[in-house]
Amino acid sequence: MGGEEFVLFLRNTTVEIGQLIAERIRRAVADHIVWWQGQTLGVTLSLGVCGAPPVRPLELLFEMTDKALYQAKRSGKNLVFLCEE
């Protein structure tokens, strides 16, 4: 989506399963050692997860998910937050 943001669509997936997948991705990235210019770097992710009922416009889905993402960032980063329905 942006310079440091990306979107992952998971079809036929509940919000709860989406949250579990997001948490697994977050942990895998946090546990991965990144070497750069002879140093180790810690990399973290902040994620927003939102469900998409068929009647929800795509623009609203992006807006809601973006709010959850920024809530995760404001709450200390390296977190997964669900959309407020």
Q: What is the dihedral of CA 27, 33, 37, 43, to 10 degrees?
A: 10
SS3 content of the chain, % helix, strand, coil (to 5): 40, 15, 45
Residues classed as catalytic: 4
The span from the CA of 39 to the CA of 64, in Å, is 37
